[in-house]
A and B are shown apart, each in its own frame.
Chain A
């Protein structure tokens, strides 16, 4: 680390400012190097170690865990479920979060503040408590959710929510909704209401205004919200564990099982590393696509 500071000051002419900046940031840099960078590297290494029921972890370099994940269809199915649930949750948050953010932005100041608090507040409430709420609402065939849906005639027979992907998607979409509303709301703040007024005065219908004027302007916000929701949903733990039960595994809950029940740490590490790499690739890739597509808006 000192070497890094030295080489840096050597190339940029040692200014007092640079030295002051690095020394202020030094405690945080040391913490993150020691407790984030090194442990992450160790986890990647761990995924290449061997493990046996009786011998425990053997620090050798083998591809056993990666081969197992690649060859056993159980893991393909599990990762497919993880991403399927995340995509569906993302689509639902977009379908409901975008109109809601638009409605919020058209409210008068005091109401807007009040409802923003109500809609964003759950973000900070314990995810265990929120998921418990969904478990109570779902609760078997006689759950409140089913009774309500049947009484308004939306469904004819009870839907199974507990221990199914349907339940997972609903609870995840609810948990992630504030992120989508927040992203779209932020994008709406930057739009110019005069463009909307101009469209109306030229005779555009409300639907045309929403589709042709508002949506193109907030699309980058919707997409960045979608990226946040997708990556958080794909790595979610509490909701899939409680709603999905012990059988319906996603990446995070399976990694947890390998670590704390089976005790096969190397395999658990391989699952976690694969999840991290997949998410980083997806997030970086889609960010790059969005920035290229909407380059004119970022200028």
Chain B
């Protein structure tokens, strides 16, 4: 295979710099010792990180986002793992339609989903509640959890299951002791990806969040609409740090390219 020439490497460097520029600039400004937006030149300061604590709306929204992300991705798995097993193991009429339905939140613009959820939850009387947010997030992160668990379930060697059955394992034991451990990397990656998607979602959530149930992206968005100051950069830097942690975990555990390219519609002949 041929190597990249100097021109290609120059292009690549520029590409990476532009890719990282907005993220780096946010993180730099977050450490400014000044009271206004500036890139620190002489010294770094944590004053704007400390300032987050004096702004209870951000702290509360941060708590809501962490809790919502953890809970919605867990609930999603409870539903997605059986659905993934059904899609991976059985060929039945309606399987394609079912899989398209489950992946549809990827296709439908989130602004449309947000509107549909707002209308629906208001009509059934749970508008503005945490429960409404939770259900909406379960739906939106479902495709991500499904794709990764489906890839794991499709690639699983089923002869271990046959062995367990022949040794007398019943249905639940089979799932708990054999199937689940075998697909666990996919399940955990699915959880992590679902968590990130829930933790970052703005477009759908902005329709459902009320002052009591604001998530962090919503709080940040509303704040930025009024004015941009170093406080919102330190909040953003914290969010970036959390996401990076989960991201590195995902990469180590599963490989980021596999996480992002996992196809939910592969048949068993196309094991990942």
Contacts and interface: CB of A to CB of B under 8 A. Distances in A.
Interface of A: 4, 8, 11-12, 17-18, 20-22, 24-25, 27-29, 31-32, 35-40, 42-43, 46, 96, 99-100, 103-104, 106-107, 115-137, 139, 144, 171, 174, 177-178, 182, 185-186, 193, 196, 200, 206, 231, 234-238, 241-242, 246, 251-252, 255-256, 259-260, 265, 268-269, 272-273, 275-276, 279-280, 283
B180 interface: no
Contact of B200 (A22, A106, A124): A124
Contact of B4 (A18, A103, A130): A103
Interface in B97-138: 98, 101-102, 104-105, 107-113, 115-120, 123, 135-136, 138
A252 B111 contact: yes
A128 B224 contact: yes
B253 to A, nearest CB: 13
Contact of A43 (B110, B115, B220, B232): B115
Contacts of B193: 124
B152 interface: no
A129 B119 contact: no
A185 B256 CA distance: 13
Contacts of B233: 132, 136
A182 B225 CA distance: 32
B95 interface: yes
A275 B203 contact: no
Contact of B236 (A96, A132, A241, A259): A132
A186 B12 contact: no
B116 A126 contact: no
Contacts of A100: 11-12, 15
Q: Which of B119, B207, B244 has the most CB of A within 10 A?
A: B119
A259 B23 contact: no
B151 interface: no
Contacts of B16: 115, 118-119
A196 to B, nearest CB: 8
B97 to A, nearest CB: 10
A234 B117 CA distance: 20
B23 A122 contact: yes
A123 B260 contact: yes
B240 interface: yes
B27 to A, nearest CB: 9
B93 A8 contact: yes
Given A106-B1, A116-B256, A125 B115 contact: no
B26 interface: yes
A284 to B, nearest CB: 10
B224 to A, nearest CB: 6
Nearest to B237: A129
Interface of B: 1-5, 8-9, 11-12, 15-16, 18-26, 29, 37, 39, 78-80, 82-83, 85-87, 89-90, 92-95, 98, 101-102, 104-105, 107-113, 115-120, 123, 135-136, 138-139, 142, 146, 193, 196, 199-200, 202-203, 206-207, 217, 220-221, 224-225, 228, 232-233, 236-237, 239-240, 243-244, 246-247, 251, 256-257, 260-261
B109 A121 contact: no
A18 B39 CA distance: 61
A99 B260 CA distance: 20
A282 B139 CA distance: 24
A88 to B, nearest CB: 16
B82 A27 contact: yes
A260 to B, nearest CB: 7
Given A128-B217, A132-B236, A182-B261, A28 B142 contact: yes
Nearest to B108: A276
Contact of B243 (A35, A40, A126, A279): A126
Contact of B101 (A32, A126, A134, A251): A32
A122 B23 CA distance: 8
Contacts of B139: 31-32, 35-36
A39 B127 CA distance: 13
B102 A119 contact: no
B109 A106 contact: no
B102 A242 contact: no
A79 to B, nearest CB: 14
Contacts of A128: 202, 217, 220-221, 224, 236
CB-based closest 10 A-B pairs: A133-B22, A235-B109, A21-B90, A39-B120, A24-B86, A39-B116, A129-B236, A28-B83, A237-B203, A252-B111
